[in-house]
Amino acid sequence: MMNIMLACLSDAVTARSNPPANICFRVGDLVAWDADVYTDMCCEGLAYVSLGEIYPADDLLARQLSATRQTARSCPFPAWAMVMKVGIVRCAPAGTSTTMPTCDDWNSAAAQNMADAAALRQASCCFRSYWTNTGDPGMDVLINTQVQVSPQGGCMERYVTVTAQFANCEIC
């Protein structure tokens, strides 16, 4: 599932102007933007997919099977749900050592943010279409709210979580 989501994200961002230079997996719920002092990953742009929670789920809207429901079953639960965080990190307008960012700087950042929001919607829909049509038959996909993180350390992040259900073929 993660490979499919990354392919959908890559297609969505590379089809637009100013694609992020880095399109890859990340690990953890707080994605590291700049890991060293020599690379400015924010300004290069980062599009990523990160694995989140995995939990037993009959129904994606029920969030998790309660402990009571799990222990009362004679058969294993039918499905798992996997949460993927899909995001894009960009440079925040910074200005210079003597001036604040201009309105033009902020307008450009806002236009890029809107394009990135559209790319995240496109990637989410691409994944949903693939998974519901050719992935695990009968399993659902839930696209959640897109979140905009306020500028931090010269970086801005926009992400969406996509939860996909897959059959419990493992022995529990």
Phi, psi (deg, nearest 5) at residue 127:
-65, -45
Q: In whole angstroms, give the CA distance from residue 59 to residue 113.
A: 33
Domain that holds residue 70: 2-167
Residue 140 belongs to a domain: yes
Residue 122 belongs to a domain: yes
| Predicted TM-score of the model (pTM) | 0.87
Q: In whole angstroms, give the CA distance from residue 112 to residue 87.
A: 14
Residue 139: other Cβ atoms inside 10 A: 19
DSSP 61: G
Domain total of the chain: 1
Residue 172 belongs to a domain: no
Nearest to 162 by CA among 113, 115, 114, 129: 129
For position 32, which CATH number holds?
Answer: 3.30.2000
Per-residue confidence in pLDDT tens, the chain, 172 aa: 999 999 999 999 999 999 999 999 999 888 877 666 777 888 899 999 999 988 887 666 565 555 555 556 566 667 788 999 999 999 999 888 899 999 999 999 999 999 999 999 999 999 999 988 887 777 789 999 999 998 887 889 999 999 998 877 766 5
